């Protein structure tokens, strides 16, 4: 899992109703113990740059976090699993994607 996605989950926890935060935190701790957390390293940065250029050249802006998540998947030769059809991941070059749900 791209570290930026981990950050989004943790931000969601902080934005949640304080009554639910302990349960959300416990779930996230358990979940993160099961998945590999992938850093934004030089290989991810190189793919991110390519995606930034592609979206600019094709007039297809995307969320910066979505591009980092996609770049992480490309750089680590993984298939991106997502529920988010609005992000238009399927258009990004080099990205293997599978929609779930």
C-alpha 57/C-alpha 51 separation (Å) is: 10
Model pLDDT, residue 86? 82
Task: Encode pLDDT of 51-73 as tens digits.
Answer: 999 999 999 999 999 999 999 99
Q: Could you write out the DSSP letters of every residue in the chain?
A: -BHHHHHHHHHHHHHS-TTTHHHHHHHHHHHHTTSPPBP--HHHHHHHHHHHHHHHHTT----HHHHHHHHHHHHTT-EEEES-GGG-GGGSTT-EEEE--
Model pLDDT, residue 81? 92
Domain coordinates of the chain in residue numbers? 3-32, 42-99
> Residue 84's pLDDT band (boundaries 50, 70, 90)?
confident
**Shortest CA distance to 38 belongs to which of 81, 87, 71, 82?**
71
Which residue(s) pair with 96 in the sheet?
79
Model pLDDT, residue 85? 82
For residues 43-52, give the mean pLDDT: 98
User: Average pLDDT, whole number, for the chain?
Assistant: 94
Q: Which fold has domain 42-99?
A: Rossmann fold (3.40.50)
């Amino acid at each position: 899992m791209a570290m930026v996605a981990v950050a989004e989950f943790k931000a969601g926890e902080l934005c949640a109703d304080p009554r639910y935060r302990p349960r959300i935190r416990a779930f996230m701790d358990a979940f993160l113990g099961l998945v590999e957390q992938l850093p934004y390293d030089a290989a991810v940065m190189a793919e991110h740059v390519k995606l930034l250029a592609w979206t600019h050249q094709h007039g297809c802006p995307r969320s910066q976090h979505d591009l980092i998540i996609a770049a992480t998947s490309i750089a680590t030769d993984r298939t991106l699993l997502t529920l988010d059809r609005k992000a238009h991941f399927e258009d990004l070059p080099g990205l293997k994607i599978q929609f779930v749900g």
